[in-house]
């Protein structure tokens, strides 16, 4: 065991060497900003070494730090693996309102719509036989309440705690329970669902959980699931809804267990998701999203009873669904645009959420224009022959050199599959070493000398060419079809990128910043994004990572009534451009399919 001490706080903890410093700090509840999720790309997780030694800098680290910083002992905690006792200084102070464990959160004031108040209800008398309902309404400043609250209780007397959603009473509890008030922030992605338990008295994230969206059984992307809905009108809405509601309920159980919180003290569940996921969540027909002119049933925010869709929390708990803009610019993107304050940007900022659907929002000094591109699930490791989600055993990075194939595996164990960032890395490398041509086709094996280091990396399955990524313990292949999946995703996103700039009449040099959002995007280094041409070479130095801004938006809405209001306004400020309907788009898409040479 070795020891890490933190000055001037005089906090210290022991550790087993082997992990990087950022992980050790976060595990021991020392907050360090890390928008890129510790991927060594954002350069934010700075600490200063005061005593002891750290291993030498790698090139990436040196590039991200200024000379003065290096000279004064500053290091990037995600890129160093300490081996012995050290004393360090944390350079950012923990922002009062910056309490999510990952991702970027702007400063904001806490004033949750959900709150508690204590009151005393007088005992009725023969002279004053006032009903319980009147006693409540006279005691609290109640604008309205669901009559079903009256079903929960006998006549209560004395100290009671009222739970409010604004001026609406949503819960009555005996005694003083003001210290027990929890909320849940959820991001429902087409592929992955992430859930956070929040202490609404402090804004602290107590625990998180994530899982693959159980709707994957009905299709891997939005359109396939809508097709499923159309083809099974008898019960598809119920099945799709049950799949997601049940998953969220399970995760709530999980995070409550981890934090020893009673789920009956959860009074709000705040959810961001794309428009189709939101329809499925509420059991609302999404078929009109699947066909031109792509008009959804609803886009507005919803503040409804959580139990009305089967979510298990306090009986009166609310479900807040963030607003969407249109069928293909969902609440996840509105949340991200809000988290990044795109509407207040004083420059030209392009926001990209890379997921099964890729959405792009361009802020032209605050004027917002968006588009959406069907990237498919390949970038998240789905629909890929050896694909898997980013979990232990997944290859997340790949280097191909003359000395062979080097893979980095999550959890540092033997590889059992390839996750999204791994797919991107391997395709980038395949292009780099010339195994995949600009048009996406593998080169012919017979064109390689047998002595070429790349010769044994290719194999043939009948006429199909495949790249052998790993053989031990399990053969992991990258097939021609896998490369095509990535290529289609890349073409979709890059063409959206160009189309949006063109529509806004902004050229590449006028673009000040490119924000990469999404939990998945946070795992994609600039090298991969630019290397396979998802983004053009010119933006390499303009990339900023904000992590899962969809969940962050849901969190902020949970913790602030003002944020709810502002997000609802923001949804109306985002214009939407239907790519398919824009002139010359087909040709642009074809051009964008080309990999960089």
Pairing of strands 574-576, 367-374: parallel
Q: Interface with a copy of itself includes 126 (CB under 8 A)?
A: yes
**Closest CB 264 distance from a copy of itself, rounded Å:** 19
Q: Interface with a copy of itself includes 296 (CB under 8 A)?
A: yes
Q: Interface with a copy of itself includes 326 (CB under 8 A)?
A: yes
**Closest CB 576 distance from a copy of itself, rounded Å:** 7
Among 292, 403, 451, 509, binds a copy of itself (CB under 8 A): 292
Among 109, 308, 347, 392, binds a copy of itself (CB under 8 A): 308
Cβ–Cβ contacts within 10 Å for residue 202, how many? Answer: 12
Q: Interface with a copy of itself includes 143 (CB under 8 A)?
A: no
Give the angle 29-33-34 at the CA atoms, nearest 5°.
105
The residues with which 319 forms a beta bridge, in sequence order, are 269, 304
Among 1, 68, 147, 541, binds a copy of itself (CB under 8 A): 147
DSSP label at residue 19: B
* Angle in degrees, 0-180, between the axes of helices 585-592 and 480-504, rounded to the nearest 10: 130
Q: Interface with a copy of itself includes 174 (CB under 8 A)?
A: no
- 373/221 Cα distance (integer angstroms): 12
**Closest CB 549 distance from a copy of itself, rounded Å:** 23
**Closest CB 450 distance from a copy of itself, rounded Å:** 56
Among 246, 288, 566, 573, binds a copy of itself (CB under 8 A): 288
- 593/597 Cα distance (integer angstroms): 12
Among 282, 352, 534, 563, binds a copy of itself (CB under 8 A): 282
Q: Give the binding range for a copy of itself (CB under 8 A) out of 219-227, 276-284, 363-371, 484-492.
A: 276-284
Q: Interface with a copy of itself includes 581 (CB under 8 A)?
A: yes
Residue 333 vs residues 296, 354, 370, 591: alpha-carbon distances, Å:
16, 11, 9, 26
Closest CA to 349 of 493, 512, 475: 512
Chain residues 227-266 in contact with a copy of itself, contact rule CB under 8 A: 237
Residues in the chain: 597
Residue 502: which residues within 8 A CB-CB, separation 6 or more? none
Among 172, 327, 390, 558, binds a copy of itself (CB under 8 A): 327
Q: Interface with a copy of itself includes 119 (CB under 8 A)?
A: no
Among 130, 201, 227, 480, binds a copy of itself (CB under 8 A): 130
- 172/194 Cα distance (integer angstroms): 30
**Closest CB 324 distance from a copy of itself, rounded Å:** 8
Closest CA to 301 of 100, 572, 38, 42: 572
Backbone phi, psi, residue 164, to 5°: -120, 140
Q: Interface with a copy of itself includes 293 (CB under 8 A)?
A: yes
- 111/96 Cα distance (integer angstroms): 14
Q: Give the binding range for a copy of itself (CB under 8 A) out of 98-106, 120-128, 428-436, 481-489.
A: 120-128
Site residues (CB under 8 A) for a copy of itself? Answer: 124-126, 128-134, 147-148, 150-151, 153-155, 237, 282-285, 287-288, 292-300, 302, 304, 308, 326-327, 576, 578, 581
């Amino acid at each position: 065991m070795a020891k890490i001490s933190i000055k001037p706080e005089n906090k210290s903890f022991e550790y087993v060497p082997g992990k990087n410093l950022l992980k050790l700090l976060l595990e021991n509840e020392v907050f360090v900003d890390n928008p890129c999720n510790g991927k060594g790309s954002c350069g934010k997780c700075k600490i200063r070494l005061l005593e002891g030694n750290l291993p030498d800098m790698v090139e990436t680290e040196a590039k991200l730090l200024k000379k003065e910083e290096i000279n004064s002992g500053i290091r990037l905690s995600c890129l160093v693996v300490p081996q012995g006792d050290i004393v360090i200084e944390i350079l950012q102070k923990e922002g009062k309102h910056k309490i999510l464990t990952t991702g970027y959160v702007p400063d904001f004031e806490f004033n949750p719509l959900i709150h508690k108040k204590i009151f005393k209800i007088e005992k009725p008398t023969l002279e004053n036989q006032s009903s319980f309902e009147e006693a409540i309404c006279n005691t609290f400043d109640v604008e309205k309440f669901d009559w079903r609250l009256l079903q929960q209780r006998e006549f209560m007397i004395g100290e009671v705690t009222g739970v409010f959603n604004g001026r609406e009473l949503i819960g009555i509890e005996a005694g003083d329970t003001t210290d027990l008030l929890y909320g849940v922030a959820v991001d429902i992605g087409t592929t992955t669902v992430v859930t956070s338990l929040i202490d609404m008295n402090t804004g602290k994230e107590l625990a998180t959980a994530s899982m693959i969206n159980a709707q994957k059984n009905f299709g891997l992307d939005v359109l396939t699931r809508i097709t499923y809905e159309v083809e099974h009108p008898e019960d598809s809405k119920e099945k799709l809804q049950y799949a997601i509601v049940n998953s969220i309920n399970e995760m709530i159980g999980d995070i409550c267990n981890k934090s020893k919180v009673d789920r009956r003290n959860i009074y709000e569940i705040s959810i961001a998701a794309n428009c189709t996921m939101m329809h499925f969540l509420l059991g609302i027909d999404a078929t009109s999203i699947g066909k031109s002119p792509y008009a959804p049933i609803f886009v507005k925010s919803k503040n409804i009873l959580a139990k009305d869709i089967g979510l298990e929390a306090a009986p009166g708990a609310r479900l807040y669904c963030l607003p969407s803009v249109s069928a293909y610019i969902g609440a996840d993107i509105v949340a991200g645009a809000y988290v990044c304050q795109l509407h207040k940007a004083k420059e030209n900022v392009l926001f990209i959420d890379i997921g099964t659907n890729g959405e792009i929002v361009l802020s032209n000094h605050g004027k917002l224009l968006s588009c959406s591109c069907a990237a498919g699930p390949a970038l998240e490791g789905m629909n890929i022959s050896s694909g898997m989600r980013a979990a232990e055993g997944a290859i997340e990075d790949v280097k191909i050199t003359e000395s062979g194939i080097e893979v980095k595996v999550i959890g540092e164990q033997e590889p059992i599959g390839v996750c999204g960032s791994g797919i991107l890395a391997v395709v980038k490398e395949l292009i780099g070493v010339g195994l995949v041509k600009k048009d996406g086709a593998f080169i012919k094996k017979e064109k390689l000398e047998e002595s070429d280091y790349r010769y044994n990396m290719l194999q043939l399955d009948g006429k199909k060419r495949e790249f052998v990524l790993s053989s031990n313990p399990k053969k992991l292949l990258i097939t021609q079809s896998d490369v095509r999946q990535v290529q289609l995703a890349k073409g979709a996103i890059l063409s959206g990128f160009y189309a949006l700039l063109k529509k806004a009449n902004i050229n590449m040099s006028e673009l000040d910043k490119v924000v990469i959002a999404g939990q998945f995007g946070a795992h994609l280094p600039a090298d991969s994004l630019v290397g396979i041409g998802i983004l053009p070479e010119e933006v390499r130095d303009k990339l900023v990572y904000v992590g899962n801004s969809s969940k962050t938006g849901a969190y902020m809405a949970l913790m602030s009534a003002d944020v709810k209001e502002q997000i609802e306004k923001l949804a109306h400020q985002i214009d939407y451009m239907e790519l398919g309907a824009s002139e010359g788009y087909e040709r642009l898409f074809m051009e964008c399919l080309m990999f960089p040479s």
